[in-house]
Amino acid sequence: MTLKPTYRWHLHLRVEQRRELEDARDHHPKPYVRERSAAILQIDDGQSPHWVATHGVLKPRKPDTLYRWINWYQTQGLAGLLAHQQGGPVRRRL
């Protein structure tokens, strides 16, 4: 008998949200928006955020990073994924 793992954390996207993320994943000009959209879609498909963070993205991430992406998307929509550009502040050269 094989038991299917269960996760306490679930993401349930509406059809419109899923279409928006699929379009961003496939066509957005910014690579980081495509990556974030793809990760959120994998989680909506039933993968755990931890698995997606370590195996489902090109560069392994900390699971907290994916939770942050999900929170941005849930509170701000696609604009939230776009507004929080990756990397730290750009330092001016003197």
Residue 40 lies in a domain: yes
* pLDDT computed for residue 20 by the predictor: 97
60 assigned to some structural domain: yes
Q: How far apart are CA 3 and CA 58, in angstroms?
A: 29
Smallest Cα–Cα separation from 48: which of 3, 4, 15?
4
**Which domain range does residue 47 map to?**
30-83
68: tokens are 């942050």
Q: Is 50 within a domain?
A: yes
For residue 92, being part of any structural domain is answered with: no
Quote the pTM value.
Answer: 0.82
Helices (H), 1-94: 15-27, 31-44, 49-51, 63-76, 78-83
The structural domain count of the chain equals 1
Is 53 within a domain? yes
Q: pLDDT per position in the chain (94 positions), as tens?
A: 565 555 556 788 999 999 999 999 999 999 999 999 999 999 999 999 999 999 999 899 999 999 999 999 999 999 999 987 776 565 555 5
Torsion region of 77: left, alpha or beta (phi above 0 gives left; psi -120 to 50 gives alpha): left
DSSP string of 12-29? ---HHHHHHHHHHHHH-S
Task: Note whether residue 88 is domain-resident.
Answer: no
Distance of alpha carbon 71 from alpha carbon 81, whole angstroms: 9
